[in-house]
Amino acid sequence: MPAFSTSGGVCFPVGPAKLQYEGPGGLKLPGWLGNGGVQMKDNGLMDTGAWWMAVAGNRVSKRRRNWTRALLIGIVAGGVTGGVTGGGLCSLMESKSLWAAVQETEQEKQEATQETQEDGTADFEKATELKVNARRPIDLDRVVQLCESAIKKGLDPASKDFCQRMMLDSLMEYARLSSKRIFAPNRDPRWRFLRSESIKRLMKVVDLAPETAEAWMLIAKLNVLENGDRDQGAAAISKVIDLSADSKSQLAEALLLRAAYAENDAQRLEDLNQAIEVDPTNVEVRKARAIYYLRMQDKDKAILDFEAVLQLEPGIIENRLLLTDVLMQADQLDRALEVLGAVEATEGEVRPKLLMAQIYFQKKEYEKCLENADLVLATIRDLPDAIRLKILALLQLERHEEALAVADDWVNRSPNQVQGYWLRSIANSSLEKYDEAIRDLTFLVENVPDNPLFKLQLGNLYNASDRPRAALKLFDELYEEDSELEGIYRSRGDAYLGTGQHAEAVADYEKELAKNPDDSGTLNNLAWVLATSPKDEVRNGTRALEFGLKAAELTKYEQAHILSTLASCYAETGDFDKAREWIAKAVAIAESKQAKNLEGLKKEAAAYDKNEPWRELEVKEEAPLPESTPKRRERARPKPDKSEDDF
């Protein structure tokens, strides 16, 4: 039997609640039954309506209320009327029937506790609290797990609906966060894993809520990346299109994405055209079609689309830069300058000036190119593109020493900049400092072995510095690696010429002209060897004159060494009057520029004065290679941000 205490003749089980209220009939009630104001009828029983309101107001459990009602029912059953006497109540409490009711309610209370534990409310509340502050994918996954657990255990309809919505939102947020990393300019190296995990969650979203267009769209976007499931992506796009009848912008975006899945160019263009027809104001679709036209080499149509983009968003500087870039590709340089000229000056924004420098370089207005490059460098001192343009402009202006100084300073300040060594080698070679240029090119060949152009230029420097055999060795290696390398035949032909192998030189020059028929250097060298070789089987005056005239025409009759070749061609055909005419012009140009080949030109002129053709078989003595090369400085590798590793 449970312990009892008596107070004023009324017996109650000893429990956490003490007797706090005494009603009109003398019955003392535990305080947890109400707020201290429970109404009592004259017969000492509680008014049931007021009692239930009090209980509900204090969120007393249903099972606890049942215990109290059992007690009250027992009192009524015991015939308590017109007031309750202490002895009668104690007797009633000790009766078997009432105690059985008490024991039954205690059992129900235990069952209620178990039922509460099985109810999903606790998990639902945890999920709600966690969702408020969830910022990481791992937190969002935990929210989903708690929601699934709550729904499985059971919730009332309103809570279940809210819980499902919260779960779907968490799944979508996970996919959004992952997609942001996947589609970032610097793509997360774990993007394939992130894609797989995102698609799993997105598929769960569309399984639970098939009308979620955003989820279908993300599935399509993720699968369009390399090695994606194209069938799954195409099916997702079709679903988005079906769901987009009332949204033009969404339909246009879906058609744009479907264009990425297109199996041929005609289908791709059809989707892009349809997207623009649906939503003519969609900037991204316009850009996509412009890029399509660029890929198809239709620059005029690409320009029209980029012009439309600029009209739609005139204040976005990137739109002007895009249009300018395409206009430059189309050689519409004046229009490009006009587009850039409308850009308002913005502090720290150097891209317009940089593009202007590029345009002026393309227009061969090197002073203006240099001016704009300097304006850029005044803001960003070490911007590689601006430094490159400045050096190239100085070289074109024949300010070789200045170009070398800029390149040398760049290498010293940024020793890992490949372009710095490349441009310094060009500046040194323009000053005929071939050993210094060779050191830089050797360094590049050793440290960037996958770039064949460095090897090719190194071989050209060997040719220019009386090292044709070293050049031949390098060119043969390049030829084995890639026989279609641009410039390989011209360069190897020069090396053959330097070693006296004229027939081989002619063969390579002819192969080069088959690929680049308007290369003035190759035309000149082929004409020279055909006109001046001492080997009868190599010489051909008629062909030599054909090539010599074309080279002179392409260079506007302004280069002394090419006019010298033209003179030798006329001499080989027996027209010494023309030979003397052109060699005289060559000598005059060389004298005006104080060229180093002036004495050689005068010797040729003397031969023509005697009506003698010029013969040359030059077998150069191999010069030793320079010994030292620059040392590469190792650059510290950035460490990954561990705080991002939360998937």
The predicted structure's pLDDT at residue 596: 84
The predicted structure's pLDDT at residue 641: 43
The predicted structure's pLDDT at residue 176: 95
The predicted structure's pLDDT at residue 119: 85
- C-alpha to C-alpha distance for 433 and 72, rounded to whole angstroms: 114
- Identify the residue with better confidence: 571 or 59: 571
Q: How confident is the model at residue 647 (pLDDT cuts 50, 70, 90)?
A: low
Q: How confident is the model at residue 179 (pLDDT cuts 50, 70, 90)?
A: very high
Backbone angles phi, psi at 645, to 5 degrees: -85, 70
The predicted structure's pLDDT at residue 107: 59
Q: Tell me: pLDDT of 5 over 80.
A: no
The predicted structure's pLDDT at residue 625: 84
The predicted structure's pLDDT at residue 646: 52
**How does DSSP classify residue 32?**
G
- C-alpha to C-alpha distance for 367 and 381, rounded to whole angstroms: 19
**Overall average pLDDT of the 234-247 stretch:** 93
- Identify the residue with better confidence: 446 or 21: 446
- Identify the residue with better confidence: 158 or 5: 158
Q: Give yes or no for a contact between 290 and 326, defined as CB atoms under 8 angstroms apart.
A: yes
**Overall average pLDDT of the 22-47 stretch:** 37
Q: Tell me: pLDDT of 261 over 80.
A: yes
- Work out the number of other CB atoms within 10 angstroms of the CB of residue 440: 27
Q: Give yes or no for a contact between 613 and 572, defined as CB atoms under 8 angstroms apart.
A: yes
Q: How confident is the model at residue 108 (pLDDT cuts 50, 70, 90)?
A: low
Q: How confident is the model at residue 520 (pLDDT cuts 50, 70, 90)?
A: very high
pTM recorded for the entire structure: 0.64
**Overall average pLDDT of the 198-223 stretch:** 95
- C-alpha to C-alpha distance for 452 and 473, rounded to whole angstroms: 14
Chain mean pLDDT for the chain: 82
- Name all domains of the chain by residue range, CATH numbers in brackets: 4-118 (no CATH), 345-431 (1.25.40.10), 501-609 (1.25.40.10)
Q: Give yes or no for a contact between 267 and 286, defined as CB atoms under 8 angstroms apart.
A: no
The predicted structure's pLDDT at residue 630: 57
**Overall average pLDDT of the 150-166 stretch:** 94
**Overall average pLDDT of the 253-279 stretch:** 94
Q: Tell me: pLDDT of 627 over 80.
A: no
Q: Tell me: pLDDT of 72 over 60.
A: no
- Work out the number of other CB atoms within 10 angstroms of the CB of residue 344: 8
Percent of the chain at pLDDT > 90 equals 71
Q: Tell me: pLDDT of 79 over 50.
A: no
The predicted structure's pLDDT at residue 279: 94
The predicted structure's pLDDT at residue 594: 85
